[in-house]
């Protein structure tokens, strides 16, 4: 396979020990809010700073807020929404008061992908004590648990780089990946090529050209040839909590996801794919990678092959 994404701090090595995927319940968090080593991160997000406004209105006591699109992405990267390089990421978290020994618990509204993106991002730094609040602030709020508008104050910490606990894949590597091991976490209409991802949801492509615009950038509608569709929103139950491991394994089996080969996941910009990778890891898959640039890169590159279902009658 081609070389890994050069932004990985250790591009030639897969993780020696896979990153654990842990959920914590609202009752667990309520009993540990005052733990000195706990660091809560609010990852709610929306266009034009909607997540930060929601944080200022109310959040779980002790939480800081990070905007994945503004704080965790590299503004100078050739593809939008790529992760910061590991050094910049470590400086950001250290300035936010997160150290190598802290237990980080990330949350957002139920089903949102930001916490899983944070899990993967910290995994690139070798930080292994990262959990996600199951059901998010949605469940916390519904249970009548405490909320505040008081911003958290954290002293800067130290967060050294360690061997990465997760892997990244670039477009060339994905192009050579066994097709059944490439998973698309986008909604079905995007996988079928009838729409593209935008911050406000799926946007239909032009039916004649098969192209849609994302903030003025043309993206072809479609999927990486042979990739399997496992929409990230199918990983959650009606109550907003992630499905149990047995149900996740059944869903993946029904989708034809292999258990005996490496898996790489993609989506629109790497967020839903992070959610899918979390569910895969939790359900027992070990050899996992994220195609961080995802469809934002592949769909804009006319040299890359694309499959779609637009010309299938009734599909």
Instruction: Write out pLDDT tens, residues 75-132.
Output: 999 999 999 999 999 999 999 999 999 999 999 999 999 999 999 999 989 898 999 9
The pLDDT score that the predictor gives to residue 180 is 85
Q: Is the pLDDT of residue 284 over 60?
A: yes
Rounded Cα–Cα distance for residues 210 and 204 (Å): 9
- Domain that includes residue 51, residue range: 22-165
The pLDDT score that the predictor gives to residue 153 is 86
The pLDDT score that the predictor gives to residue 12 is 32
Is 197 in the same domain as 77?
Answer: no
Given 132, 165, 198, the domain boundary residue is 165
Is 57 in the same domain as 147?
Answer: yes
Whole-Å CA distances, 230 to 136, 176, 190, 241, 268:
22, 20, 12, 17, 13
Q: Is the pLDDT of residue 63 over 80?
A: yes
In a domain, 279, yes or no: yes
Instruction: Write out pLDDT tens, residues 224-247.
Output: 999 999 999 999 999 999 999 999
Q: What predicted TM-score, i.e. pTM, was given to this entire model?
A: 0.92
Percent of the chain residues past pLDDT 90, beyond the cut: 81
The pLDDT score that the predictor gives to residue 9 is 34
Is 100 in the same domain as 127?
Answer: yes
CA dihedral defined by 191, 282, 79, 300, rounded to 10 degrees? -20
Q: Is the pLDDT of residue 271 over 90?
A: yes
The pLDDT score that the predictor gives to residue 214 is 86
Is 44 in the same domain as 153?
Answer: yes
Residues 301, 303, 306: CA angle, nearest 5 degrees: 80
Is 96 in the same domain as 117?
Answer: yes
Any idea what the CATH number is for the domain that residue 103 is in? 3.40.250.10
In a domain, 26, yes or no: yes
The total number of structural domains in the chain stands at: 2
Is 161 in the same domain as 190?
Answer: no
Which range scores top for mean pLDDT: 10-14, 213-217, 234-238?
A: 234-238
Is 213 in the same domain as 90?
Answer: no
The pLDDT score that the predictor gives to residue 14 is 47
Is 72 in the same domain as 154?
Answer: yes
Using N-to-C axis directions, what is the helix angle for 245-254 and 271-282, rounded to 10°?
A: 110
The pLDDT score that the predictor gives to residue 4 is 40
Is 63 in the same domain as 133?
Answer: yes
The pLDDT score that the predictor gives to residue 179 is 75
């Amino acid at each position: 396979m081609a070389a890994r994404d050069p932004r990985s701090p250790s591009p030639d090595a897969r993780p020696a020990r896979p990153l654990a995927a842990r959920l914590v319940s609202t009752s667990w968090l309520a009993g540990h809010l005052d733990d000195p080593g706990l660091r809560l991160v609010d990852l709610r997000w929306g266009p034009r700073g909607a997540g930060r406004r929601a944080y200022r209105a109310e959040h779980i006591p002790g939480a800081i807020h990070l905007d994945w699109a503004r704080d965790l992405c590299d503004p100078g990267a050739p593809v939008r929404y790529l992760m910061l390089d590991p050094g910049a990421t470590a400086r950001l978290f250290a300035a936010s008061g997160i150290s190598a020994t802290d237990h980080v618990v990330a949350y957002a509204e139920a089903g949102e992908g930001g916490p899983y993106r944070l899990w993967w991002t910290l995994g690139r730094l070798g930080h292994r004590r990262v959990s996600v609040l199951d059901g998010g602030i949605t469940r916390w709020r519904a249970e009548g648990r405490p909320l505040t508008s008081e911003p958290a104050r954290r002293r800067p910490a130290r967060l050294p780089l360690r061997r990465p606990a997760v892997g990244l894949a670039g477009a060339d590597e994905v192009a050579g990946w066994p097709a059944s091991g490439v998973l698309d976490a986008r909604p079905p209409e995007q996988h079928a090529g009838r729409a593209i991802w935008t911050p406000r949801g799926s946007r239909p492509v032009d039916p004649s050209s098969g192209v849609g615009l994302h903030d003025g950038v043309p993206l072809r509608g479609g999927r990486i040839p042979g990739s399997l569709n496992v929409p990230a929103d199918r990983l959650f139950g009606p109550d907003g909590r992630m499905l149990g491991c047995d149900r996740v394994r059944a869903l993946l089996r029904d989708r034809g996801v292999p258990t005996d080969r490496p898996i790489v996941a993609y989506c629109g910009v790497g967020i839903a794919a992070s959610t899918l990778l979390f569910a895969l890891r939790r359900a027992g898959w070990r050899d996992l990678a994220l195609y961080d640039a995802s469809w934002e890169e592949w769909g804009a590159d006319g040299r890359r092959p694309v499959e779609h279902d637009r010309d299938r009658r009734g599909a």
